[in-house]
Amino acid sequence: MLVGTPLYIWYYATVADTPLWEAVWTSTIMGCANIIDLTSLLARNSKHAIPRVHRDIYPLFKALPPGDFRRLIRLSTRRKVASAEIITQENVPANRLFYLISGSAKVTKKDEGFEMPAGVFVGEVPFVTGQNSVATTELHVGTEILEWSFDALKKRAAKSERFGLALQAMIAEDLAHKVAAGVAPHDSEHLAQNFKNQARRLEGLMQKD
């Protein structure tokens, strides 16, 4: 279409004694719109879209196109824990989502504890259900995390269906791994399946692009 548009413009400009200006302008506008769409698509999928300071962690989010990763990371705070820190408390409302980049955390639920390794989300269940936290999570010294406000993520997801579906797809994969490991809440398998269905919608959107 990009090749054909200039030919259409040339044709409408020369086919008659007087250029067919309406057709010329229509073809020009359509051509510009196609160029903008193509440029946006290339930019979204280019690795140059990944912020340089966060390129080291992009492999942890490789399911996301670079452009979606950039949007996600811009909403986050990246930090390393200097002292032990409790980020969720069992049966207490939560308002932040976390991702463990490195290090680990101690998770306690109903007086039973276990170690949570890096590479997982924390706070994803209250984020998607609006319910209280299902466990108490304490970060160990030196653990590096990403941190998001629930409100910021939900506002962004409301503006962009693509972003919302991409985020849901990541949480679905995370929950599926936790279910397989037997460390997820009893209703997480149902949540993970719902998110997998949303992930298929995301794949459909990406194919359309």
In tens, the pLDDT along 100-124 reads: 999 999 999 888 888 999 999 999 9
Which pLDDT belongs to residue 198? 46
Q: Is 169 helix (H, G, I), strand (E, B) or coil?
A: helix
Each domain of the chain, given as residue ranges in start order, spans: 4-45, 52-208
Which pLDDT belongs to residue 206? 42
Which pLDDT belongs to residue 15? 57
Q: pLDDT higher for 180 or 141?
A: 141
* Contacts of 120 by beta carbon, 8 Å cutoff, 6+ apart: 99, 100, 174, 177, 178
Measured distance CA(178)–CA(123) in Å, rounded: 13
Q: pLDDT higher for 70 or 13?
A: 70
Under DSSP, the state recorded for 64 is: S
For the chain, what is the largest distance between any 2 Cα atoms, rounded to a whole number of angstroms? 87
Fold for domain 52-208? Jelly Rolls (2.60.120)
Which pLDDT belongs to residue 174? 85
